[in-house]
């Protein structure tokens, strides 16, 4: 894959079963318009139909009477479209800052949606008041910024209800018409709300929000709030942070979230779990083990309903869990309690990276990535009770591929590595170019730290290997996908354990493969990976060059500038001054001798630009060959969802830096016609 091949990629997401069809969202980066195009498609057998035609259509929801999705024109905010089916849906909202998410009450013909509400005179509501002339912001809360958004307190996320009616003879529902149904702003908690839901009967209307208003002290607790009365009512849950919720019936709710076991900031290494909360009894039961099972933020579904719609005693939950290098779909009894990873029924294989799924009867469809394809839609057979269908006693977990987006030319299949480390076996990969080596080698390090590389097809790896560079990458201690103990191994010591692990995987790869050139090594990483790259080059001088991208580089200033600074830094690096200094890349910059490209985004509020600026100045002061590359208009998500042209330019800058410092005399056969697919 070359940088200019970015717009040949696609993402499949939000799958839905609609009769014999599977509806998915297909999103593509478009270099010409420098934006992303996404529409809804219906796939059945070999055929496919485009259902929607706006610039960005996403998040479909389908019911027997009503269906809806979010839709936006080019450079416009998304609005809610609803109709008797997706094909006939019409716009029913005109919120100034757009709609972010919604739920439909099919029987009640209502939609519950979330939209931000700007203070008067802000964010373009008044053409006579440009952004630079808005009134000053008075801030008393601990959190007031969000990466990718900006200031939040003067445009809180609120919940609205709107009745669903088919358009009559007026302008409602007519393209270009301004008339939409009247929405009702609900009484909500003071904090931002999200994840709107109806109970099965429609009697319960709920959202997730913070447990208490932000009064200047960080607090990660959140809960489910029931709306519609004179004031919102919070469910009394254990001390936890709730990610998602789904009503099982009008008294019982299924939750995905983290327990905050020590106090309201105890987030490091917490394994998100499945919980069932009984509102009548006030009890909460955890279905999954808190040490070994990490439930992904993909909405779970219930399988096992009676004719009247009631949940049967042997019902089960279909959910997604993060495992070592994968995100897999599992089935678990609704009556389970603290079920460990090995006791779960897996419905997908151990290399699938799932981003969404849907279940209907004995069929399950999922979208995501595989080692050979950047986007797939797969179908899996399950029983009516949600258990995996078996052949000769063995679970059928591979499923049938309905549609797979082809990988670009020159894509390669990375080799899986299992390496013994100080803290246990480390999962890693090595990806090599085609042709004969020895190849220069780049050690790539993921962010987080409680995140992971996966088996899925990865554009960054493919761009580097297509340019003739071998890539080694791993999930060291501190990563997700393993156990809580693995995730907390870097708490209070953010560098040393992970550094030892990634270098152990690199050394293992170099020792076992003569096609890798140990004299031409580079190291790069973003976010926490940028942090670890900077710490490695301060301690290990064998690398010819480094790329430090959107790095966490100064714990001290991070506290006052990052949107997560008030809790992230102190939980990971502690408040001990000596410990912080030992873990600070800025404090160790004088030890660096490795030429370093420092890349950052101008509007990054997760790892703010000042992190890069301070580190770049410190490298200059130390006499290090260094450059600072700043992307305007981008935030912390540049590499994943930034402007397509900037993503291409990012790849080009990386390749230029490596060509300068690792040499361009690589022997990859990029003209070999047999390299058009994955091997």
Residue found by looking up tokens 């897999």 in the block: 328
Q: CB neighbours of 138 closer than 8 A, spacing ≥ 6?
A: none
Cα 667 → chain centroid: 36
Residue 670: per-residue pLDDT: 38
* DSSP H/E element including 462: helix 459-466
Q: CB neighbours of 165 closer than 8 A, spacing ≥ 6?
A: 109, 172, 181
Fold of 415-662: Rossmann fold (3.40.50)
Q: Which residue has the higher pLDDT, 400 or 430?
A: 430
Per-residue pLDDT, averaged over 346-353, amounts to 96
Contact 677, 407 (CB under 8 A): yes
Residue 479: per-residue pLDDT: 98
Q: Which long-range contacts (CB under 8 A, 24 or more apart) does 566-573 make?
A: 566/142, 566/143, 566/218, 567/218, 567/220, 567/265, 567/267, 570/265, 571/265, 571/266, 571/267, 571/268, 571/491, 572/268, 572/449, 572/490, 572/491, 572/492, 572/494, 573/492, 573/494
Of 588, 582, 578, 583, the closest CA to residue 568 belongs to: 583
Per-residue pLDDT, averaged over 119-132, amounts to 93
Q: What is the pLDDT of residues 196-210, one digit of tens each?
A: 999 999 999 999 999
Per-residue pLDDT band for 290 (boundaries 50, 70, 90) equals very high
Residue 395: per-residue pLDDT: 46
At 443 the three-state DSSP class reads strand
Distances (CA, A) of 501 to 207, 427, 449, 454, 476: 41, 10, 13, 17, 5
pLDDT at 12 over 80: yes
Q: What is the pLDDT of residues 172-195, one digit of tens each?
A: 655 656 689 999 999 999 999 999
Per-residue pLDDT, averaged over 293-298, amounts to 98
Q: Which two tokens stand for residue 209?
A: 């929000």
Residue 177: per-residue pLDDT: 60
User: What is the number of H-type helices and E-type strands within the chain?
Assistant: 10, 41
Give, in degrees to the nearest 5, the angle at Cα 157 between 153 and 161: 150
pTM of the model: 0.94
The whole-chain average pLDDT of the chain stands at 93
Q: What is the pLDDT of residues 357-369, one digit of tens each?
A: 999 988 999 999 9
Phi, psi of 333, deg, nearest 5: -60, 140
SS3 letters across 527-557: CHHHHHHHHHHHHCCCCCEEEEECCCCCHHH
* DSSP H/E element including 484: helix 484-487
Q: Are strands 205-210 and 194-198 parallel, antiparallel or unpaired?
A: antiparallel
CA distance 34 to 249: 45
Distances (CA, A) of 367 to 43, 48, 175, 351: 13, 16, 31, 13
Per-residue pLDDT band for 315 (boundaries 50, 70, 90) equals very high
Alpha helices in 583-625 (DSSP H): 609-621
Residue 173: per-residue pLDDT: 57
Contact 501, 476 (CB under 8 A): yes
At 38 the three-state DSSP class reads strand
Q: Are strands 301-305 and 311-323 parallel, antiparallel or unpaired?
A: antiparallel
Residue 674: per-residue pLDDT: 36
Distances (CA, A) of 350 to 184, 322, 340, 354, 454: 46, 10, 16, 11, 10
Per-residue pLDDT, averaged over 371-383, amounts to 94
pLDDT at 307 over 70: no
At 329 the three-state DSSP class reads strand
pLDDT at 607 over 70: yes
Of 99, 51, 50, the closest CA to residue 72 belongs to: 99
C-alpha gyration radius of the chain: 25
Residue 45: per-residue pLDDT: 81
Per-residue pLDDT band for 672 (boundaries 50, 70, 90) equals very low
Per-residue pLDDT band for 311 (boundaries 50, 70, 90) equals confident
Number of other CB atoms surrounding residue 35 within 10 Å: 16
The proportion of the chain whose per-residue pLDDT surpasses 90, expressed as a percent, equals: 89
CA distance 85 to 66: 6
Q: CB neighbours of 602 closer than 8 A, spacing ≥ 6?
A: 609, 630, 631, 632, 633, 634
Per-residue pLDDT, averaged over 495-510, amounts to 98
- Provide the β-strand partners of residue 25: 13, 40
Residue found by looking up tokens 């929801």 in the block: 61
pLDDT at 630 over 60: yes
SS3 letters across 66-129: CEEEEEECCCCCCEEEEECCHHHCEECCCCCCCEEEEEEECCCCEEEEEEECCCCCCCCCCCCC
pLDDT at 390 over 80: no
């Amino acid at each position: 894959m070359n940088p200019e091949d970015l717009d040949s990629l696609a993402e499949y997401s939000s799958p839905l079963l609609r009769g014999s069809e599977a509806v998915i969202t297909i999103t593509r980066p478009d270099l010409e318009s420098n934006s992303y195009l996404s529409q809804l498609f219906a796939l059945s057998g070999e055929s496919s139909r485009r259902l929607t035609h706006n610039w960005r259509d996403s998040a479909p929801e389908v019911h027997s009477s009503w269906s809806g999705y979010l839709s936006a024109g080019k450079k416009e905010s998304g609005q809610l479209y609803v109709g008797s089916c997706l094909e006939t849906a019409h716009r029913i909202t005109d919120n100034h800052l757009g709609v972010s998410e919604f739920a439909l009450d099919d029987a009640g013909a209502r939609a519950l949606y979330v939209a931000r509400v700007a203070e008067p005179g802000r964010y373009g509501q008044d053409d006579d008041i440009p952004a630079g002339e808005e009134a000053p912001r008075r801030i008393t809360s601990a959190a007031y910024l969000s990466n990718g958004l900006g200031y939040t307190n003067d445009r809180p996320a609120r919940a609205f209800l709107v009745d669903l009616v088919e358009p009559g003879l007026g302008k409602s529902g007519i393209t270009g018409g301004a008339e939409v149904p009247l929405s009702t702003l609900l009484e909500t908690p003071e904090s931002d709300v999200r994840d709107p839901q109806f109970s099965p009967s429609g009697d319960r209307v709920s959202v997730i929000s913070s447990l208490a208003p932000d009064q200047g002290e960080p607090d990660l607790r959140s809960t489910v709030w029931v709306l519609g009365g004179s004031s919102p009512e919070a469910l009394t849950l254990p001390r936890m942070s709730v990610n998602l919720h789904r009503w099982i019936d009008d008294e019982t709710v299924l939750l995905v979230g983290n327990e905050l076991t020590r106090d309201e900031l105890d987030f490091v290494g917490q394994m998100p779990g499945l919980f069932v909360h009984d509102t009548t009894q006030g009890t909460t039961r955890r279905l999954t083990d808190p040490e070994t099972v990490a439930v992904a933020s993909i909405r779970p579904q219930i399988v096992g309903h009676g004719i009247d719609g009631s949940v049967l005693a042997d019902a089960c939950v279909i959910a997604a869990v993060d495992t070592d290098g994968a995100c897999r779909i599992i089935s678990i009894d609704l009556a389970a309690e603290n079920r460990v990873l090995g006791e779960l029924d897996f419905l997908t294989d151990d290399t699938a990276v799932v981003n969404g799924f849907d279940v209907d009867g004995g069929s399950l469809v999922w979208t995501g990535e595989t080692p050979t394809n950047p986007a797939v839609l797969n179908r899996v057979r399950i029983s009516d009770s949600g258990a995996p269908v078996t052949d000769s006693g063995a679970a059928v977990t591979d499923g049938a591929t309905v549609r797979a987006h082809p990988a670009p030319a020159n894509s390669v299949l990375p080799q899986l590595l299992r390496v013994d480390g100080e803290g246990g076996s480390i999962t890693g990969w090595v990806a090599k170019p085609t042709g004969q080596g020895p190849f220069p080698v780049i050690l790539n390090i993921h962010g987080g730290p409680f995140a992971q590389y996966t088996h899925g097809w990865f554009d960054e790896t493919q761009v580097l290997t297509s340019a003739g560079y071998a890539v080694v990458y791993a999930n060291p201690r501190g990563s997700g996908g393993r156990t809580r103990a693995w995730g907390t191994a870097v708490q209070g010591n953010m560098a040393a354990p992970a550094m030892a692990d990634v270098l152990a995987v690199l050394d293992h790869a170099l020792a076992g493969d003569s096609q890798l050139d140990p004299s031409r090594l580079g190291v790069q990483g973003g976010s926490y990976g940028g942090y670890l790259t900077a710490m490695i080059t301060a301690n290990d001088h064998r690398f010819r060059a480094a790329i430090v991208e959107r790095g966490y580089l100064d714990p001290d200033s991070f506290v006052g500038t990052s949107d997560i600074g008030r809790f992230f830094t102190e939980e990971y690096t502690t408040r001990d001054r000596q410990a912080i200094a030992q873990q600070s890349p800025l404090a160790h910059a004088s030890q660096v001798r490795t030429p370093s490209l420092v890349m950052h985004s101008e509007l990054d509020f997760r790892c703010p630009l000042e992190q890069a600026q301070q580190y770049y100045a410190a490298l200059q002061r130390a006499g290090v060959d260094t450059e600072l590359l700043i992307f305007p208009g981008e935030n912390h998500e540049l590499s994943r969802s930034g402007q397509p042209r900037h993503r291409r330019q990012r790849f080009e800058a990386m390749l230029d830096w490596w060509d300068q410092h690792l040499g361009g005399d690589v022997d990859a056969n990029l003209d070999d016609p047999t390299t058009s697919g994955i091997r």
